[in-house]
Amino acid sequence: DAGVTQSPTHLIKTRGQQVTLRCSPISGHKSVSWYQQVLGQGPQFIFQYYEKEERGRGNFPDRFSARQFPNYSSELNVNALLLGDSALYLCASSLARGPNTEAFFGQGTRLTVV
């Protein structure tokens, strides 16, 4: 079975532009979460979606938005990009069956804002 897939793998954008990142979860997983990992730090939670509804939101500005589609894939959108948005953006999917549920991560999208 395919794991969590993210696209694109790398992206370079200019300040002020908008970006859309995509994630396909493992088949059967209805929960998708997004994380931002700045170089040298652990991942920071951005959003969680379950059954197309937002279930959690981290401490990120309104420039960040996301959605989940009927097939459980997801998109993360970031508007008005800042240099500080440069990071590895990780998507994770899971069965979301409790606090000990394993989350499976994709390899991430490396976003560079110049």
Partner 1 sequence: TQLLEQSPQFLSIQEGENLTVYCNSSSVFSSLQWYRQEPGEGPVLLVTVVTGGEVKKLKRLTFQFGDARKDSSLHITAAQPGDTGLYLCALNRDNYGQNFVFGPGTRLSVLP
Contacting range for partner 1; rule: CB under 8 A; set: 12-20, 26-34, 68-76, 77-85: 26-34
With H, G, I as helix, E, B as strand and everything else as coil, classify residue 74. Answer: strand
Q: Whole-angstrom Cα distance, residue 12 to residue 86?
A: 9
Q: Whole-angstrom Cα distance, residue 52 to residue 45?
A: 18
Contacting range for partner 1; rule: CB under 8 A; set: 13-21, 30-38, 65-73, 79-87: 30-38
CB of 46 to partner 1, least distance (A): 10
* Chain contacts with partner 1 (rule: CB under 8 A): 4, 31-33, 35, 40-45, 48, 50, 55-56, 90, 92, 94-108
